[in-house]
Amino acid sequence: MIWLTLRQFRVQAAVVFGGLAVLCAALAITGPGMADEFNSGFASCTAQGDCSRFTRRFFEDHEMAFGAVILIVAFLPGLIGIFWGAPLITREIEQGTHRLVWNQSITRTRWLAVKLAVVGVAAMVAAGLAALAADWWSDPIDKAASDDISRITPLVFLSRGIVPIGYAAFAFALGVTVGVIVRRTLPAMAITLAVFVGLQVAVPMWIRPNIIPAESKIVAITSENHGEMMMMREEGDKAFLQVEVEPEPRAWTFTNETVDSSGKKVGRLPVSVAAGAPCAPPPPGPDGEPPEGPSQACFDDLAKKGYKQKVAYHPADRFWPLQWAETGLFVVLALGLTGLCFYWTRRRLS
């Protein structure tokens, strides 16, 4: 049965693993050079005392490739679900060959078990390989990336570590199960894609923040911890300030809202930008450029008025606990789907 599974699977496997081989080769060729560039550049900028300019330039140089690698690794589980999972059984049903193979001296359960095991393991291996390659290659870029695209942030998280393995297992099981239930390849592919993408969006919004308890606190807004601050001018001297803070370097902050002294959420902070007001834009410096960020007086004024920032976040060192928890969740979901698939194949399919 293993032979038959491999024989039927070889074209699809060749496409995906061939693509992976190309990706790995490209990463293997460009990786070491990029790492050398980073190491030497970082050494020289550390000697000069300030690396922010070097890291920013380094990141911008490699941003495209960095994004492309993330995209490929992120899409791989979905592709596996669509092109390996969905057709696995539907193709047999559409061509009637299940009636041939189910009447060899092998039970339907064993037939399905071997098919799921062989292709499922291949799916996990493919995703694991891709993630491993991405992790290795992206290392210098990760170091150079600014805090809001650290490894734990949603965009990067899904293409790193071990979660792609969990996603691949789940997407594959999803594709097979949907296929077994709807019995037709194209609709099964469409449903698999829709469900999987929906879940990929839902997980960072609602599940990942809570899968292990998040850090949650209310902090003062200071010149040290502030992140993005946006000033929106209205007519005259009135303006609104939108504040975000960074509670910890490289953390993933998913709640970031300003509260007043009573703890009530304030969407936009009304401030005055009249000349001499604390948060008025400071005059340009000697080089003609305005200094970065608001003045210390502005932060003092915000503190005096009782405004603080409420944040919920996962610190950077939660990367692996989160990876394990999410991978575990998806593997459990995949196992549940596999059980349903067995039930359906034994009882409902004919």
Partner 1 sequence: MTAALEARGLGKKYGKRWALSDCTLDLPAGRVIGLVGPNGAGKTTLLNLAVGQLAPSAGSIRVLGGRPADGPGQLARVGFVAQDTPTYAGLSVADHLRLGARLNPGWDDAIARERLERLGLDPARRAGKLSGGQRAQLALTLGIAKRPELLILDEPVAALDPLARREFLQHLMEAAVEHSLSVVLSSHLVSDLERTCDYLVVLVDSRVRVAGDVDDLLATHHRLTGPRRDPATLPGDQQVVSESHTDRQSTLIVRSEGAIHDPAWTVGQVGLEDLVLAYMSDTPTRSTLEAVR
Binding site residues, partner 1, CB under 8 A: 1, 3-4, 7-8, 95-97, 99-108, 110, 347, 350
Nearer to partner 1, 25 or 106 (CB): 106
What whole-number distance in Å separates Cα of residue 212 and Cα of residue 255?
15
Q: What angle do CA 101, 337, 128 make, to 5 degrees?
A: 95
What whole-number distance in Å separates Cα of residue 302 and Cα of residue 291?
19
Q: What share of the chain is helix, strand, coil (3-state, %, to 5)?
A: 65, 10, 25
Q: Give the largest Cα separation in the chain, rounded.
A: 89
Exposure on the CB side of residue 236, measured as CA atoms within 13 A: 5
**How far is C-alpha 20 from the chain's CA centre?**
20
Nearer to partner 1, 108 or 183 (CB): 108
Nearer to partner 1, 92 or 246 (CB): 92
Nearer to partner 1, 106 or 218 (CB): 106
Nearer to partner 1, 13 or 229 (CB): 13
Q: Which residues contact 269 (CB under 8 A, 6 or more apart)?
A: 240, 241, 242, 243, 258, 302, 307
Inter-residue contact 309 to 245 (CB < 8 Å): yes
Taking the complex as a whole, how short is the minimal distance between the CB of residue 103 and partner 1, in angstroms? 4
Nearer to partner 1, 4 or 199 (CB): 4
First to last CA, the chain: 20
**Residue 278, amino acid:** P
Token pair, residue 186, equals 């194209």
Compute the Cα dihedral for 282, 284, 286, 287 and give only its sign.
positive
Nearer to partner 1, 8 or 327 (CB): 8
Taking the complex as a whole, how short is the minimal distance between the CB of residue 134 and partner 1, in angstroms? 33
Taking the complex as a whole, how short is the minimal distance between the CB of residue 338 and partner 1, in angstroms? 21
Taking the complex as a whole, how short is the minimal distance between the CB of residue 344 and partner 1, in angstroms? 13
Taking the complex as a whole, how short is the minimal distance between the CB of residue 179 and partner 1, in angstroms? 17
Taking the complex as a whole, how short is the minimal distance between the CB of residue 97 and partner 1, in angstroms? 5
Nearer to partner 1, 106 or 212 (CB): 106
- Tokens 């976040």 locate to 313
What whole-number distance in Å separates Cα of residue 227 and Cα of residue 221?
10
Taking the complex as a whole, how short is the minimal distance between the CB of residue 92 and partner 1, in angstroms? 9
What whole-number distance in Å separates Cα of residue 164 and Cα of residue 73?
7
